[in-house]
Amino acid sequence: MVNIRPDEISGIIRKQIEQYDKGVRIVNVGTVLQVGDGIARIYGLDKVMAGELVEFEDGTVGIALNLESDNVGAVLMGEGLTTQEGSSVEATGKIAQIPVSDAYLGRVVNALAQPIDGKGQIPASESRLIESPAPGIISRQSVYEPMQTGLIAIDSMIPIGRGQRELIIGDRQTGKTAVAIDTILNQKGQDVVCVYVAIGQKASSVAQVVNTSEERGALGYTIVVAETANPPATLQYLAPYTGAALAEYSMYRKQHTLIIHDDLSKQAQAYRQMSLLLKRPPGREAYPGDVFHSHPRLLERAAKLSPELGGGSMTALPIVETQAGDVSAYIPTNVISITDGQIFLSADLFNAGIRPAINVGISVSRVGSAAQTKAMKQVAGKLKLELAQFAELEAFAQFASDLDRATQNQLARGQRLRELLKQSQSAPLTVEEQIATIYTGVNGYLDVLEIEQVKKFLVQLREYIVTNKPQFGEIVRSTKVFTERAEALLREAIKEHSELFSISGK
């Protein structure tokens, strides 16, 4: 309940009477009744729209969210420390919007799209609403182009298409951000605009992401939207919508875009904080009922546009953090249900040294296989099956003491396949490198090696192919098919390299 003191009411009435013959300027000006915790209660903003920006006397900007019968509840996009009770509030008549332009590439901005990297103002002549409706059915077409992450485990078995929404989910410190950043690094030279939205993270982590992108030449095609753990919850809540608006700008200009929301759990927590302070009724896990609507509204904006609209795309990779692998909590289930699949990162795998820690068995991609290149399909088909059989066999083999020869061989193969999926951070592989790697594994060329040698062997093999069999890469790149000629070249390369490797090994 808002406590309205009688003298306050009489003051307001007196003011209204005084202003009576001055005309009707009152319409969109209100008075602050109460400010605190990033929330303001305002009296008198009669014609304000839901989601409209309001400006306080001290320059603080807020968004009117709760339109109640006797007051308006607004969230502040700032501390509001100098906002005073009784000061006036003006409705701006504008729904929250940000400036947009190509000059945003390579910049770090906050949730209001203001630069925070100290590189000066960003020129922009257009603006976009932070919240705009998702493209409808007619405006879309089905996903058919691949969005390569550069990670073998994903591109071969959980392929992602341009315009898809694929969730990255896992416990804390399981390499979620690493998967997303690798994907950005892998877009180099692919003409994809990347937007990385950091929500509620440590400033140092964001700085590290920016540095890595800069070092690897990825910042030039990337926009970073950062709201660290410090600022008001409102801005953390808005950051993903701002990122989506920036990506949309490029998408509607026929470009391919990739947006990463790191992470939506923290954004939902910010929204919970805002809602509770606004006294909206708490629901499950104290989240407000409409958190169920805020994430779909955001992720539906990712799309593959129809040819009439230019065929641009927005691929969304939202990240969600789980507690102890529990995917049945409120936010994880919600986001799982609205994405086109999920990449599950497991803490057990991560701690066992299997990195990226992708649990292939329970990860899925519902639309991406339509977008996988033919060449990749040709070699990857066997991989998933063999890994699944291996996982089953491995669990069973823990109980059996003496295994027959065939089982032992299958286990040895599985261990080597698992080894070939390991990749260091920031080391994405091209499609042809991935194909060469998988082919080597599923055709048993690694079976003769010790497990510890597999990684070294593959790294050297990929180098060997680039220097000695460049035609292999050319064929795969130009035709997108793993032709007989390509296979013959690859087999030669593996044979030659195996000989060199065994000599140098001795």
Rule CB under 6 A: which of 241-260 touch ligand ATP?
A: none
**Which of 149, 156, 164, 174 forms a contact with ligand ATP (CB under 6 A)?**
174
Evaluate the omega torsion of the peptide bond into residue 404 and state whether it is cis, within 30 degrees of 0: no
> Of the two residues 177 and 423, which places its CB atom closer to Mg ion in the complex?
177
62 binds ligand ATP (CB under 6 A): no
Q: Is 263 annotated in some ligand binding site? A: no
Rule CB under 6 A: which of 444-483 touch ligand ATP?
A: none
SS (H, E, C) 177-245: HHHHHHHHHCCCCCCEEEEEEEEEECHHHHHHHHHHHHHCCCHHHEEEEEEECCCCHHHHHHHHHHHHH
423 binds, among ligand ATP, Mg ion, none (CB under 5 to 8 A by kind): ligand ATP
**Which of 175, 240, 428, 441 forms a contact with ligand ATP (CB under 6 A)?**
175
CB contact set of 278 (below 8 Å; sequence gap of 6+): 39, 65, 66, 73, 75
| 8 A C-beta contact, residue 48 and residue 72 | yes
Give alpha helix (H) positions in 304-360.
Answer: 330-338, 347-351
Q: Which of 272, 366, 418, 491 is catalytic?
A: 366
Can 366 be counted among the known catalytic residues? yes
Q: Is 170 annotated in some ligand binding site? A: yes
423 binds ligand ATP (CB under 6 A): yes
Q: Which stretch binds ligand ATP (CB under 6 A): 62-70, 171-179, 191-199, 324-332?
A: 171-179
355 binds ligand ATP (CB under 6 A): yes
Maximum pairwise Cα distance, the chain: 100
Q: Is 177 annotated in some ligand binding site? A: yes
| 8 A C-beta contact, residue 264 and residue 320 | yes
Rule CB under 6 A: which of 176-215 touch ligand ATP?
A: 176-178
Nearest residue to 158 (alpha-carbon basis) of 353, 421, 337: 421
- The tokens describing 371, both together, are 């977008």
Q: Which stretch binds ligand ATP (CB under 6 A): 38-46, 120-128, 170-178, 489-497?
A: 170-178
425 binds ligand ATP (CB under 6 A): yes
Q: Is 171 annotated in some ligand binding site? A: yes
**Which of 148, 177, 273, 294 forms a contact with Mg ion (CB under 5 A)?**
177
| 8 A C-beta contact, residue 62 and residue 54 | yes
Q: What is the DSSP letter of 96?
A: S
Q: Is 140 annotated in some ligand binding site? A: no
321 binds ligand ATP (CB under 6 A): yes
10 binds, among Mg ion, ligand ATP, none (CB under 5 to 8 A by kind): none
- Give the nearest residue (CB) to Mg ion: 177
- The tokens describing 167, both together, are 């969730």
Strand 341-345 to 167-170 pairing: parallel
Q: Is 172 annotated in some ligand binding site? A: yes
Dist. CA 385–CA 391, nearest whole Å: 10
Q: Is 453 annotated in some ligand binding site? A: no
212 binds Mg ion (CB under 5 A): no
172 binds, among Mg ion, ligand ATP, none (CB under 5 to 8 A by kind): ligand ATP
Strand 256-262 to 192-201 pairing: parallel
150 binds ligand ATP (CB under 6 A): no
**Which of 288, 356, 414, 441 forms a contact with ligand ATP (CB under 6 A)?**
356
156 binds ligand ATP (CB under 6 A): no
Evaluate the omega torsion of the peptide bond into residue 356 and state whether it is cis, within 30 degrees of 0: yes
Point out which residues bind ligand ATP (CB under 6 A): 170, 172-178, 321, 355-356, 423-425
Binding-site entries for ATP: 170-177
